[in-house]
Amino acid sequence: MDLLENEEIVIKRPTAGSYVKGRHVAGVPEILTCDASVQPLDGDDLLLLPEANRNMDTLKWYSETEIRIDDYLKRASENVAQINTCTIDSVVDDTDYVCTINGTSFTYGSGTGATALSIVAGLYALIHAQAAVLLVDATDNLDGSYTLTSAVIGEPITITVDANQSAVEDTANVSKQYRVLKIKDWSSHFIPHYKAYGFLLEED
């Protein structure tokens, strides 16, 4: 049984952290992408919820992918990926060019006979190799600049570069997310489906 009017959603699922020298360190959240039918509440739904949660910012979500209490849900239609363009402003031989993404630094030594194209190609290769870990997509624009895009809709990224480069945020991160505080068993013809109530949180 297929759900009607499915749309793409992202599930950000908290994971267990660990203790380092007696201090708790939060775990890296698991990121899942799936389809869901997202609908407004009806009168019966409102009766299931505490009065404090009976508002227009609450939605119900039907999915064949498991949704759990305390998951964070994001709708593709409500979120925009952040896009940054970095440009080589000064070409200098034997110089380190550095781009730091979400705290991870990538350094490319320009060597001799450097060009803006060769520097970008070097940085792109380093960043692209770690794209899956960083959750950032990189593009060599072949004009002395490269573009960094958040691979997960609504997930912000931080970009810093050295003095020989400039970084411009072309598209700001827009993120609305809903926290699941209540779920209800719902299935049909022995096919498991998941029904969750998501409550809108403040934008990132």
Instruction: State the CATH number of the domain containing residue 89.
Output: 3.30.70
Whether 135 maps to a domain, the answer reads yes
What pLDDT, on the 0 to 100 scale, is given for residue 118? 98
93 φ/ψ angles, rounded to the nearest 5 degrees: -70, 155
What pLDDT, on the 0 to 100 scale, is given for residue 107? 98
| 147 shares a domain with 111 | yes
What CA–CA distance (Å, rounded) separates 109 from 97? 6
Whether 158 maps to a domain, the answer reads yes
| 87 shares a domain with 167 | yes
Domain count, the chain: 2
Whether 62 maps to a domain, the answer reads yes
Q: CA 9, 159, 134, 143: dihedral to nearest 10 degrees?
A: 100
| 61 shares a domain with 121 | no
| 97 shares a domain with 26 | no
What CA–CA distance (Å, rounded) separates 31 from 155? 11
| 93 shares a domain with 167 | yes
Q: CA 128, 123, 99, 10: dihedral to nearest 10 degrees?
A: -20
For the whole model, what pTM was predicted?
0.59
Q: In angstroms, how far is CA 52 from the centroid of its own chain?
A: 29
| 92 shares a domain with 12 | no
Show the tokens assigned to 28: 């890296």
Give the domain CATH number at 38: 2.40.10.270
| 181 shares a domain with 105 | no
Whether 1 maps to a domain, the answer reads no
> The domain containing residue 166 runs over which residues?
83-171
Q: In angstroms, what CA-CA distances link 152 with 31, 54, 86?
A: 8, 30, 20
Whether 93 maps to a domain, the answer reads yes
| 155 shares a domain with 118 | yes
Which segments in the chain show pLDDT lower than 50? 1-3, 203-204
| 52 shares a domain with 92 | no
Contact (Cβ atoms closer than 8 angstroms) between residue 81 and residue 153: yes
Show the tokens assigned to 192: 């498991």
| 101 shares a domain with 162 | yes
| 137 shares a domain with 89 | yes
What CA–CA distance (Å, rounded) separates 73 from 63? 12
What CA–CA distance (Å, rounded) separates 37 from 62? 5
What pLDDT, on the 0 to 100 scale, is given for residue 27? 81
Whether 123 maps to a domain, the answer reads yes
Whether 159 maps to a domain, the answer reads yes
What pLDDT, on the 0 to 100 scale, is given for residue 2? 46
DSSP 80: B
Whether 120 maps to a domain, the answer reads yes
| 43 shares a domain with 90 | no
What pLDDT, on the 0 to 100 scale, is given for residue 167? 97
